């Protein structure tokens, strides 16, 4: 059996501050600042992102390579596209729902259509903003994965976000990164694991059922799997960090080997990871017991703490464990 590379035990969500890693929102800017020392192509644009934290440090160190358009995301995307067409590698630091919705026309036409090196850093993913229905970022995977030329990545923790930044640095086309609002639990106990865009990671092996998770739901799925192991249920957890291009081989392999599939995402269950996995299984002619975990229905989620809402919608660790038992008939 392969060496374990993820945390053991179950997460204590009530005291999550004790296990949080440094925020991916801060770490990716710190990484870009280091890259910028040797690569003059690196530029960051913001839409009223403020001047604190690592963004402020980058702006102070590279004032001519940080452009804040104010709260005008459509302008931000247009400016970023123009610089990319002139040889820059541009990272858009922005609030996820507004880049995916308000600026969609510009992302579609100025960036994806022209297939240029613009990196959309979609922060406050899913329900993590805490800002209520107008500020939840729950449709972006469905939107971004349908754009031609767009690569879509949802790192599972902050350290993996750095791996993704490095792996896509020289990509000629656009990339969308999906990261949470603040610090997330560290999934991996070592960084000595292979990371490749478009290749899923078997974070935890198992034989009875597979959970295919993305972004912050990878940690919650591992926590659930660790708890289910105490009940004698063996769960495989796949870290599907790349939504597009999707690792279809990993999905088919998991379905054939474990016979049951659950997807977990902080997103609407329509259009995102769950839909992508369902499409893959249907295209491959594979029928297995299958369930999508995420935000259901045709409604806007209420205002609330993200972990309280995860419980409400059934994709906190307890909800994930319950779904596994139900799908297995236990």
Q: What is the pLDDT of residues 172-202, one digit of tens each?
A: 999 999 998 876 788 999 999 999 999 999 9
Segment 227-239 mean pLDDT: 98
Query: How high is the pLDDT of residue 298?
Result: 84
Quick one: what percent of the chain has pLDDT higher than 90?
Answer: 81
pLDDT higher at 110 or 13: 110
Which comes out higher in pLDDT, residue 52 or 77? 77
Question: Confidence band (pLDDT; 50, 70, 90) for 96?
Answer: confident
Instruction: Look at 52-66, 150-164, 234-248, 286-300 and tell me which has the smallest mean pLDDT.
Output: 52-66
Angstrom distance (rounded) from CA 179 to CA 123: 5
Q: pLDDT band for 22, please (50, 70, 90 cuts).
A: low
Q: What is the mean pLDDT of residues 149-171?
A: 96
pLDDT, mean of residues 317-322:
98
Most confident residue range from 45-49, 52-56, 207-211: 207-211
**Looking at residues 231-254, what average pLDDT do you find?**
98
Cα dihedral sign, 174-20-136-247? positive
Please give, one letter per residue, the 3-state secondary structure of the chain.
CCCCCECCCCCCHHHHHHCECCCHHHHHHHHHHHHHCCCCCEEEEECCCCCCHHHHHHHHHCHHHEEECCCCHHHHHHHHHHHHCCCCEEEEEEEHHHHHHHCHHHHHHHHHCCCCCEEEEEECCECCCCCCCCCCECCHHHHHCCCCCCEEECCCCHHHHHHHHHHCCCCCCCEEEECCCCCCECCECCCCCCCECCECEEEECCCCEEEEECCCHHHHHHHHHHHHHCCCCCEEEEECCEEECCCHHHHHHHHHHHCCEEEEEEEECCCCHHHHHHHHHHHCCCCCCEEEEEECCCCCCCCCCHHHHHHHHCCCHHHHHHHHHHHHCC
**The domain made up of 13-17+194-328 is a member of CATH 3.40.50.920:** yes
Tell me whether the CATH fold assigned to 13-17+194-328 matches the one assigned to 21-178: yes
pLDDT of residue 19: 44
Q: Confidence class of residue 12 from pLDDT cuts 50, 70 and 90?
A: confident
Residue 159: count other Cβ atoms within 10 Å of its Cβ: 18
pLDDT, average across residues 290-316: 93
pLDDT for the residue 282: 98
Mean pLDDT over 68-80 rounds to 94
Confidence check: pLDDT of 116 > 80:
yes
Tokens of 107: 């992302």
The CATH class of the 21-178 domain is alpha beta
Q: What rounded mean pLDDT belongs to the chain?
A: 93
CA gyration radius, the chain = 19
How high is the pLDDT of residue 2? 62
Domain boundaries along the sequence of the chain? 13-17+194-328, 21-178
Confidence at 18, pLDDT banded by 50, 70, 90: very low
pLDDT given at position 322: 98
Q: Is the pLDDT of residue 103 over 50?
A: yes
């Amino acid at each position: 059996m392969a060496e374990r590379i993820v945390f053991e035990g179950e997460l204590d969500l009530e005291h999550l501050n004790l296990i949080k890693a440094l925020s991916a929102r801060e770490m990716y800017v710190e990484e870009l600042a280091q890259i910028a020392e040797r690569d003059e192509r690196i530029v960051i644009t913001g839409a009223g992102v403020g001047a604190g934290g690592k963004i402020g440090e980058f702006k102070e160190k590279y004032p001519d390579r940080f452009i804040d358009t104010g709260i005008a995301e459509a302008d931000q995307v247009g400016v970023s596209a123009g610089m990319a067409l002139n040889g820059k590698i541009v990272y858009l630091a922005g609030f996820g729902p507004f880049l995916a919705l308000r600026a969609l026309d510009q992302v579609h036409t100025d960036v994806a259509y022209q297939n240029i090196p613009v990196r959309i850093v979609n922060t406050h993913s899913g329900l993590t903003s805490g800002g209520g229905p107008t500020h939840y970022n729950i449709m972006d995977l469905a939107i971004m994965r349908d754009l031609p030329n767009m690569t879509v990545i949802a790192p599972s923790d902050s350290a993996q976000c750095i791996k993704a930044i490095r792996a896509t640095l020289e990509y000629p086309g656009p990339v969308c990164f999906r990261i949470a609002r603040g610090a997330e639990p560290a999934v991996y106990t070592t960084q000595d694991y292979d990371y490749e865009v478009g290749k899923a990671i078997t974070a935890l092996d198992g034989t009875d059922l597979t959970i295919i998770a993305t972004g912050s739901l990878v940690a919650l799925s591992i926590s659930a799997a660790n708890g289910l192991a105490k009940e004698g249920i063996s769960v495989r957890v796949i870290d599907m960090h790349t939504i597009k291009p999707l690792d279809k081989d990993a999905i088919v392999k998991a379905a054939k080997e474990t016979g049951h599939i659950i997807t977990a995402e902080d997103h609407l269950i329509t259009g995102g990871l769950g839909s992508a996995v369902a499409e893959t299984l249907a295209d491959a002619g594979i029928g297995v017991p299958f369930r999508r975990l995420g935000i259901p229905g045709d409604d806007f989620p209420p205002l609330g703490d993200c972990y309280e809402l995860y419980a409400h919608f059934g994709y906190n660790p307890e909800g994930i464990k319950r779904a596994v038992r139900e799908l297995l008939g236990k």
